[in-house]
Amino acid sequence: MDFISRPVGALHGTAAVPGDKSISHRALMLGAVATGATRIQGFLDGADTNATLNALRAMGVTVDRAGAHDLTVHGRGLHGLSAPAAPLDLGNSGTSARLLAGLLAGQAFASELVGDASLMQRPMRRVVDPLRQMGADIECSPGGTLPLRIHGGRRLHGIDYVLPVASAQLKSALLLAGLYAEGSTILTEPGRSRDHTERMLADFGCPVHREGGRIRLQAVPLRGHPVAVPGDISSAAFLILAACLVPGADIRLENVGINPTRSAVLTILGDMGADISVRERASGQSEPAADIHVRHAPLHGIAIPEELVPVAIDEFPAILVAAAAAQGRTVLSGAAELRVKESDRIAAMASGLSALGIDVETRADGMRVTGGRLQGGTVDSYSDHRIAMAFAVAGAAADAPVRVRDCINVNTSFPGFVECTRRIGLNIEAVEHG
């Protein structure tokens, strides 16, 4: 499936984006190993989160659905999962693979994690190595990728570990393994990464203590807890981008998660001149949410502060399209992690922006974008959902239509993307390959 995006006039209206992918994954996993029921409202009914759901069902977890976005997970306790009959196929979901590796490291049974062609190439050694230090018997391919084979029945112990990079997936994998470890699991982050796992563990009765960059978990049994999932700010970023690009735009997005370890995209775009206002909602949840109002305003290039990179890592496809439409030069550094996402996002964004007439210079850990006039053309998404959506939105402000190749994976994080964008006036069409 391709997207064809055509230039539009002013954008107006109100929209709600699908539930947060990161929170949905974690609610399923913690609910599965808690005692009692966990009701999840606002669940993201996407390909990635359903990969986690199906894996848990394969290990004996019962999940009732009252609708696509309203689930009840019947927890089996920390030691209640059962051996799956076959390898757990996680599709394109790197979050599922890395977090489940931690959760499965302390089980009594053996398991194997596999995925689609893209996921089978993504690096896993950074998770495997510290899990081995905790006592897990886990192996990956010689190249450090899936399949992961986890041999159960090992006694885990806590470690005092310095993360080599600020990575929420690595941190979360080790915290989940820490639920099965003797003693404390202590992790030191080189920079702040998203903290959904720490917040949710506390909700489920297992507080994680933080002092500066050091966090400490002492395992206790989990209790089921209701989870209200706000809209995903990584998905909202594309609609915010649209309003930044199109003159006269004025849109509102309802109930978007604004966790401070996720909302740096708002800071970065604001520093570039975006007109964004945030009205926080009183939710009673540990995850803050807000309504976001965006009006078009001229953008200018900036040097993106490196300390914001880990907490905006998924939003850079949108941010870099904003840079392409800004006046002046935007410089991104310290973002080598973008090289090992669903695609090499530095290379993918540079290729697409160049195809649309933008001057781009890449480096190992980032890129330099000189703003200009977006032209029409054809770009490749490299089967990456966020690359696909970023360039689909770019077409709204281009001189001519933009065709984005291979967009089916948008369903991993933003099912209903085309319909949602049309509600605020974008003109994006999904077409079969021709």
Which segment of 26-35, 203-212, 245-254, 281-290 scores lowest on mean pLDDT?
281-290
Q: Which of 193, 211, 228 is the last residue of a domain?
A: 228
Residues sharing a CB contact under 8 Å with residue 223, sequence separation 6 or more, in sequence order? 34, 35, 36, 204, 205
pLDDT tier at 284, thresholds 50, 70, 90: confident
Q: Which residues pair with 281 in a beta bridge?
A: 289
Whether residue 262 sits in one domain with residue 205? no
Whether residue 171 sits in one domain with residue 37? yes
Whether residue 9 sits in one domain with residue 149? no
pLDDT tier at 283, thresholds 50, 70, 90: confident
Task: Please provide the average confidence, as pLDDT, over all residues in the chain.
Answer: 96
The whole-angstrom separation of Cα 236 and Cα 124 is: 28
Active-site annotation, residues:
314
Whether residue 119 sits in one domain with residue 100? yes
Q: Is the pLDDT of residue 87 over 70?
A: yes
Q: Is the pLDDT of residue 216 over 90?
A: yes
Whether residue 25 sits in one domain with residue 145? yes
Contact 29, 52 (CB under 8 A): yes
Neighbours of 338 (CB within 10 A): 23
Q: Where are the alpha helices (DSSP H) in 374-431?
A: 385-394, 417-423
Tell me if the pTM is above 0.75. Answer: yes
- In this structure, the chain runs to a length of 434
Residues sharing a CB contact under 8 Å with residue 289, sequence separation 6 or more, in sequence order? 230, 231, 255, 256, 257, 258, 280, 281, 283
Whether residue 377 sits in one domain with residue 321? yes
Q: What percent of the chain lies above the pLDDT cut of 90? A: 96
Nearest one of 10, 94, 169 to 386, comparing CA atoms: 94
Whether residue 333 sits in one domain with residue 299? yes
Identity of the residue numbered 355 = A
The whole-angstrom separation of Cα 320 and Cα 192 is: 22
Whether residue 243 sits in one domain with residue 218? no
Q: Is the pLDDT of residue 220 over 80?
A: yes
The whole-angstrom separation of Cα 388 and Cα 390 is: 6
Q: Is the pLDDT of residue 2 over 80?
A: yes
The whole-angstrom separation of Cα 52 and Cα 66 is: 18
Average pLDDT over residues 320-348: 96
pLDDT digit string (tens) for 381-392? 999 999 999 999
pLDDT tier at 434, thresholds 50, 70, 90: low
Looking only at the bridges linking them, the beta strands covering 359-363 and 366-370 are: antiparallel
Q: Is 401 exposed, middle or buried (0-12, 13-18, 19+ CB in 10 A)?
A: middle
Average pLDDT over residues 52-58: 98
The whole-angstrom separation of Cα 7 and Cα 428 is: 9
Question: Residue 258: what pLDDT?
Answer: 97
Nearest one of 372, 373, 376, 313 to 346, comparing CA atoms: 313
Q: Which of 167, 197, 228 is the last residue of a domain?
A: 228
Question: Residue 63: what pLDDT?
Answer: 98
Question: Count of alpha carbons within 13 Å of 319, Cβ hemisphere only?
Answer: 36
pLDDT tier at 10, thresholds 50, 70, 90: confident
Number of domains in the chain: 2
The whole-angstrom separation of Cα 227 and Cα 73 is: 11
The whole-angstrom separation of Cα 46 and Cα 68 is: 10
Residue with tokens 């982050």: 189
State the CATH number of the domain containing residue 51. 3.65.10.10
Whether residue 327 sits in one domain with residue 195? no
Q: Is the pLDDT of residue 358 over 70?
A: yes
Whether residue 196 sits in one domain with residue 236? no
281 SS3 class: strand
Looking only at the bridges linking them, the beta strands covering 2-6 and 427-431 are: antiparallel
Whether residue 224 sits in one domain with residue 276? no
Straight-line distance from the first to the last Cα atom of the chain, in angstroms, rounded to the nearest whole number: 9
**Tokens coding 341:** 């996402």
User: What Cα–Cα distance (Å) separates residue 93 from each residue in 59, 85, 117, 342?
Assistant: 18, 20, 11, 9
Domain that holds residue 398: 2-19+230-431
The whole-angstrom separation of Cα 94 and Cα 114 is: 10
Nearest one of 387, 409, 224 to 319, comparing CA atoms: 387
pLDDT digit string (tens) for 151-185? 999 999 999 999 999 899 999 999 999 999 999 99
Contact 186, 174 (CB under 8 A): no
Q: Which of 196, 228, 260 is the last residue of a domain?
A: 228
Whether residue 370 sits in one domain with residue 272? yes
